[in-house]
Structure 1
Amino acid sequence: MSTAILELREYRPTESTDTHDFHQVVIGLSGRMSMSLDGDATRYGRVASRNGVVIPAGVRHDYRGDGPNRQVVLDVPSRLAATTGSQRAFAHEAFFALDASLLALARRVSARSDGARPLSADDPVVREWLGALTARLAPARPAQRTVRLDLARIDARLRTALATPPDTATLAREAGMSVRHFHDAFVAIAGETPHRHLMRLRLAYADRLLSTSDATLADIALEVGFNDQSALTHAFRQHYGQTPAAWRRECHARPTSG
């Protein structure tokens, strides 16, 4: 590979593994994908519309798309990283939150009518991306190397207490971080805020209860952490596009296999 390639990609919902001899950056535009780095379960995260992941050359990464997704992917040969002074941005693998500059660049790529056309190293947009990535990633490296969040552990912690979950201050204290640092680190690795993440876990559990149990909507609302049935209905409709009652009727109307 002799040139940088910047293009839009969609990752399939199947487990895949890759290692390559060039650096790579993946930034979310829509949907979500999951990834673990270097075979380390504690380096597991998700790429969504508020974050990205940098994968230095030679680092193994296991990944899959979590449903429909669109990602900006930049493949950077080591020689180009050296000649542009951006090699320090690829010194370590890490998830990172997008700053205003990278958000604006992602939106520009998304808005391009020919966005599917790969861009080479000669394109000014590629050089602009490398500059923005270096400005965002290089200063954050020391904190990212010394403090890690175990997203899988946090997920398990929240799932066991959806009705009365630990607050952000408690999770931050357990991670040995300030609340602000924890919030920023969480967005970097999960692609969403702790509050939005908790809401998504609650709705996913409500979805499962609606399809597998005969519990009333009021009881389900309380079990997954909503104050009442009305709050569950409002959040569920926003997320799934229909009410819990309609969702349950649809689930029960589906033919069962076997």
Structure 2
Amino acid sequence: MWLGGLSRLEPMPQTGGRHHHSHHQVVLGFEGNAAFELEGEGGDQLCLGNGCLVPTQSDHAFQGLGDNRMVVLDFSVDASIDSSIDHEMLCRLFDRPHYFQLDAQFGSLLTAMAREIDQFGHDPHMQQHVSALLLHSLYQRLTGRAVPGQESLGRFDLSRIDQMIRHRLQEKVSVTEMADLCHMSISQFHLRFRQVTGMTPYQYVMKLRLDQAIWLLRCSSHSIADIALETGFSNQSALTHAVKNRTGHSPGQIRKQASAH
């Protein structure tokens, strides 16, 4: 028996089908349309912006309506053994078969995750992280409740993460290292990090590097090439590009502005 969640991107067959299975399933519209019929809920069409929850052993019928691809998430009845998925959350979410509508923000998340599945879907660890992230996001939208076990996310300490990043600006800081620092799984860490900062861990690391680089440009006599090295940029050109995107000015212009005051 596989544990945790699996994610895949696949078309609904044009010939259709009907079955039930021994695992919970989420089907999310992504490209094109598919007809779905859920036991006790009747039929509906799935497209980007909606989806359905299929609890274990629930009979359901499906048929692709032209070219289509759906994001399908499968969750074992033993998925709670994976620390990123809580048993109580599965019970609440899959209490009955039903359809749902989703907001544009979730649509953007789904599009990004579908691209990851498309490119790296052969990796089971990637499948599990994607399925856990989408499941947590769905849970909050569909139940309006905090994720069970939220107290375990209280170990998240942004100040400790900041300290580690600032001490290692010249080095690569992995998400695994940041999650380990907080004693959290990677999927839990990603979820909590976005809740607190509004950014991905990578975006946050780049922000701290760029903040430090701009401060050095204004307050130190270090060369621009040395500042790029000290703050973890691959070269002076990469730093220049990042600074221009943030401020609209080149590193040299920022330095001149600072010396003029």
- Length-normalised TM-score, structure 2: 0.48
Structure having the higher Rg: 2
Which has the higher relative contact order, 1 or 2, with Cα contacts under 8 A spaced 6 or more apart? 1
- Length-normalised TM-score, structure 1: 0.48
